[in-house]
Structure 1
Amino acid sequence: MLHHIIRNRPHLTMAIALGVAVGVLWPDSHPWMRRALVGWNAGVWSYLIGMGWMMMRADHRKVRAIAGREDENAGVVLFILIVGTLLSLYAIVSELARMGHMPAKQVALHYAFTGLTVIGSWLLVGVLFCFHYAHLYYRASDKQRPLRFPDEGLEPDYWDFLYFSFTIAVAVQTSDVSVTSRTMRKLVVGHSVLAFFFNVLILGLSVNIAASLVNS
């Protein structure tokens, strides 16, 4: 499995390697959880930038080729990365709880770091589901596509799958894209539930930070 991940997902492999390296090399004077979060941010944002650049240049033929290279372990990779995302959110909440009576400048830096982590993790979830939707779509036969887009004469590219993924992430609904298979419906339900709790957490963190700023 590890061999397939390294071979078929070079951007993900490099992002993980960068994140681990940054976390390990970050000064020992910082708590281990903060170092892990710094490494997480380095890996996540490098991955998002690399994937964003790739998606802007990819047409539907390249999307199909990438989906064809991914194997049956794609769902396992998605699950592992989602768990990592949830752990990063737990870590950032724990970091906020330890702030105590920090100087105002350090508090501001912690809030900025919190925002960077939450936004990065939220974007990562949307992009990961985008890739998995594309993987399931192009691995299916032409007559049994699990998604039906309104402009049926065109083959979807990453922008179409990003649209579908982030519509769920923002509105917890599928908009004008039809889901036509049971497997895909299960995945969409899981994504919708995850998006709901993710958005609730972001709202809670925002209220907490706003209250702290008002009281400071």
Structure 2
Amino acid sequence: MITGDGRRDLPHRGRGNGVSARTRLLTAMVIGVAVGVGVSIPGTWRYGVLIGWIAAAAVFLVWMWYSLWPMDAAATARHATTENPGRGLTEVTMIGASLASLLAVGLLLAGGSGNKSIQAGASILAVAAAWSSVHTVFTTRYARLYYTGSDGGIDFNQDDPPQYSDFAYLAFTIGMTFQVSDTDLKTKPIRGTALRHMLLSFLFGAVIIATTINLVAGLSK
């Protein structure tokens, strides 16, 4: 049964909850560096950086969503409020790496030489990985703000307490539209986080449009 504020002390389900954020980050980084170096040796460092980033982001995203998606509200609350070594470092690192990957895409496309199809594929995957990573980080951030706040701060217009899939709905809606839809943000910390999220999302939207135009122009030559 739901007790108290309806957000804690419930029987819960989830998987992979015992792995720290630091372990996930280090594992993703090691795999990314290994793949990047392996690609750079026979090829070019520009491809190595991008492919390494794609590999690292893929490990991070698959591992995160494998753990988070099946969590119900009680498991989400417990996970979001539990002290997890390296959580803040993981968020900063993934957002920073996502932004850096956009620069790497620009350098690859500005190089002009090389197989256009490979450049297009690597660029699209790198941008998609960065976009998904940023919104995944904000998904966990909204959950943490909600479950550590006194009154939640986000109205999902439902009776059941929210789980990670609900916070993903909020995060990816902002990521795709730069605004909220049918959710209400009720506290300053959450509105401030949403504002930063919207600005980052706008940047990604501009980069995606510019990358698409560049790729179409390059492939048509």
Maintained 8 Å contact 2:136/2:171: yes
Which amino acid in structure 2 is aligned with residue 67 of structure 1?
Answer: A
CA contact (8 A) 2:117 2:219 kept: no
Please give the root-mean-square deviation of Cα atoms over the aligned residues, in Å: 2.0
Change (3 A) 1:108 1:25: closer
Q: Say which of 176, 179, 188 aligns to 1:182.
A: 188
How far off is 1:37 after superposition? 1.9
Deviations 1:95-144 (A, max 9, x none): 111133x4xxx211111111111111111111111011111111223xx2
- What per-residue deviation string (whole Å, max 9, x for no partner) do you get for residues 181-204 of structure 1? 111111111110110111011011
1:89 corresponds to which of 94, 102, 119: 102
Q: Distance in 1 between matches of 2:219 and 2:39?
A: 29
Residue 3 of structure 1 corresponds to which residue in structure 2? none
Q: Which residue in 1 is equivalent to 2:77?
A: 64
Length, aligned pairs only: 203
Q: Report the Cα offset of residue 72 of structure 1.
A: 9.5
The alignment status of 1:126 with 2:132, answered yes or no, reads no
What are the superposed Cα offsets for residues 25-72 of structure 1, whole Å, 9 maximum, x if unpaired? 444233334322221111101111222222332111221121122469
Q: Give me the identity figure in percent.
A: 29
Structure 2 Cα separation of the partners of residues 154 and 59 of structure 1: 10
CA contact (8 A) 2:36 2:51 kept: yes
Structure 1 residues 26 and 207: alpha-carbon distance in aligned structure 2, compared to 1, 3 A threshold: closer
1:85 alignment partner, SS class: helix
In the other structure, the counterpart of 1:147 is: 154
Number of the residue aligned with 2:37: 24
Q: Does the C-alpha gap of structure 1 residues 213 and 27 become closer, same or farther in structure 2, counting only changes over 3 Å? A: closer
**Greater shift in the superposed pair: 153-162 or 132-141:** 132-141
Write the distance in 2 (CA, Å) between the matches of 1:56 and 1:76.
22
In structure 1, stretches of 5+ residues that fail to align are 1-5
Give the match's secondary structure for 1:57: coil
Equivalent positions of 1:42-81 (< 5 A) are 42-70=55-83, 74-75=87-88, 77-81=90-94
Which piece of structure 1 moves more, 28-37 or 159-168? Answer: 28-37
2:72 & 2:25 partners in 1: Cα distance? 20
Decide which of 188, 201, 204 is 1:198's aligned counterpart.
Answer: 204
Q: Give the letter aligned to residue 147 of structure 1.
A: I
Displacement, 1:8? 4.3
Greater fraction of residues in helix: 1
